[in-house]
Amino acid sequence: MTARARRTLDDARTAIAFLTRLRVGASGRLDAAAMSRAAQWFPAVGLIVGGALGGTRLLADLALDPVPATLLALLVAVLVTGGFHEDGLADIADAFGAHVSRERRLEILKDPRVGTYGALAIVFAIVFPLSVLAGLDGEHVLRAALVAHVLGRWSTLPHSAWWPPARPDGSGTLVRVRRRGLVVPTAFSAAVALTVAGVGPGLLALGTAILLTAGLSTLLARTFGGVTGDAFGAVNKLVELGTYAVLSAAWA
């Protein structure tokens, strides 16, 4: 194996190890250079998580009604990721909802405790996709999950490219993608959306992901003075949920 191929494989393993609980023999390096290279693989990791969710729904449909089958599928996705993005959404909700200074909001992001807004955000992150996906058959849940998880993880790349970190030593420094580095993962994400969802629904999903990523990343960067690791997770989760909603509506 050439050195370049070995580094590519290491980058893919780093992305999987960072975004999931799967053991893939990653080197364990979490420096900014390694993570920024690995970010090119983030959308591809979405195929793993989305596949786990959709595959679980298909299997659960053999024994359960759609609602418990969907709830089980959502739980599997949380187990695969360790609730990574749900945690970011909860932290952002607590900090964003507080009527305090920017500095205090940044402190709230570092607080491991979950407040009222954070708890409500977690409930929403489960109840909303449950209500949207339970009405779809297993095949469409699989297709929606693949597209939503790919686009959700794609959102981190432009988010990191447009805005500087909120803190020089914060987790927002961990992923810094150059704008020219957006081309390949964006093309990959678009291809997945159009192929898996169909051209019309896929374009709708892409447009939703772009609008949510641009709007939410701008709002959060202005609120916190730049990007944070929790903001990456929150935008990822909200793009995922938005994709479920528009695909469900398109297929209705």
Residues 240 and 216 sit within 8 Å (Cβ to Cβ): no
Mean pLDDT of the chain: 92
Residue 107 structure tokens = 């402190």
Rounded Cα distance between 139 and 51, Å, is 11
Q: How many CB atoms lie within 10 A of CB 2?
A: 7
The residues spanned by each domain of the chain are 42-251
Below-50 pLDDT ranges, the chain:
none
pLDDT of residue 219: 95
Rounded Cα distance between 202 and 144, Å, is 10
Long-range contacts of 118-124 (CB under 8 A, 24+ apart): 118/89, 118/90, 118/91, 118/93, 118/94, 119/90, 120/93, 121/86, 121/89, 121/90, 121/92, 121/93, 122/86, 122/89, 122/90
Rounded Cα distance between 6 and 222, Å, is 39
pLDDT of residue 27: 59
The pTM assigned to this predicted structure is: 0.94
Q: Say which DSSP state 61 is in.
A: T
Residues 185 and 43 sit within 8 Å (Cβ to Cβ): yes
Q: For residues 131-152, b (16+ Cβ closer than 10 Å) or e, as one string?
A: ebbbebebebbbbbbbbbbbbb
Summarised one tens digit per residue, pLDDT across range 55-105 is 999 999 999 999 999 999 999 999 999 999 999 999 999 999 888 888 888
pLDDT of residue 11: 87
